Amino acid sequence: MAGDTHNFTPALGHATLTPLYDSAIAVLTREGRWRNALVQQIAPKATDVIVDVGCGTGTLVLMLKRVAPSATIIGLDPDPAVLDLAKAKAQRAGVEIIFERGFANEVQRLAELGVTKAVSSLVFHQTPMSEKRAGVLAMHDALLPSGELHVADYGLQRTPLMRTLFRQIQRLDGVENTTPNAEGVLPRLMSEAGFVDVTETVVIPTPTGSISLYLARKG
C-alpha cells in the first residue's frame, strides 16, 4: 500500500532503536496496564475483522488473536523494518495475521474486507496534524456501519507532573507532532471525522505521561 518509506517517525523515534522497542515500551509506559485494558475494551470476537493501524512490532495484534483465534486480524504499518519484527513474532507464536505495509491515511483501502473494529495504539502522537486528521478519517471510512474505533495513545496531559513526564516523549518524537495530543486533540478529530459516542474511557498515568483510551462508533 505505501509507496513512501521515509515519511514517518520510527517506533522509538529513530530507526536504529526499533529492535529495542518492545523492551523500552514495557518499562516506559506501564504497558501491561494499558494494553490489557485496550484488549478488554476491544473485546475481539470470532466474527470480527480488526485492523491495527500502526501495528509496530505486532504486540497488540498477537494479543487480539490469542483472545479470538478465529477473528481476522490485520496489522498495518508503513515501516518495513518493524513489520519484519511483527511477522517474526507471529510466526514464532504460530498464528496467522495479515500484515500490510501502509500509512494510516490509506486504511480505507481495507474496507472491502468488512472491517468491524479499527484500532490503534501509540501512533497518532507521532504523526503530523494532517496525518492525525487523515488517519482518523480513513479509519472511519474503513469501517462497516456501526463499526468501532479503539485508540490508546498519549492524550490530554492534565497535571503539571504528567506534562513534565511527557516531555521525554516530546524529546523522542518531536514537539510539533506530540503537542496537539497533549492538548487533547484526538477526541475532537474523531467527532470531526463523523464518529459518534466518542468517549475517553480511561486515563492511565505512566512514567512518560498519561495514556488515554478512546472508544467511538461509526454512526
Ligand X SMILES: C[S@@+](CC[C@H](N)C(=O)[O-])C[C@H]1O[C@@H](n2cnc3c(N)ncnc32)[C@H](O)[C@@H]1O
Residue 123 Cβ, how far from ligand X at the closest point, in Å?
Answer: 4
Candidates 34, 103, 154, 214: give the one binding ligand X (CB under 6 A): 103
CA-nearest of 125, 79, 68, 72 to 102 is: 79
Determine if 180 is a binding residue for ligand X (CB under 6 A).
Answer: no
Determine if 121 is a binding residue for ligand X (CB under 6 A).
Answer: yes
Determine if 75 is a binding residue for ligand X (CB under 6 A).
Answer: no
H helix runs in the chain, sequence order = 21-28, 31-42, 59-67, 80-93, 129-142, 160-173, 175-182, 185-192
Other CB atoms closer than 10 Å to residue 107's CB: what's the count? 29
Determine if 59 is a binding residue for ligand X (CB under 6 A).
Answer: yes
46 phi, psi to nearest 5 deg: -55, -35
Determine if 126 is a binding residue for ligand X (CB under 6 A).
Answer: yes
Determine if 97 is a binding residue for ligand X (CB under 6 A).
Answer: no
Find the part of the chain contacting ligand X (CB under 6 A) among 3-11, 90-98, 186-194, 202-210.
3-11
Residues 110 and 74 sit within 8 Å (Cβ to Cβ): yes
Residues that bind ligand X (CB under 6 A): 8-11, 25, 53-56, 59-60, 77-79, 82, 103-104, 121-123, 126-127, 131, 135
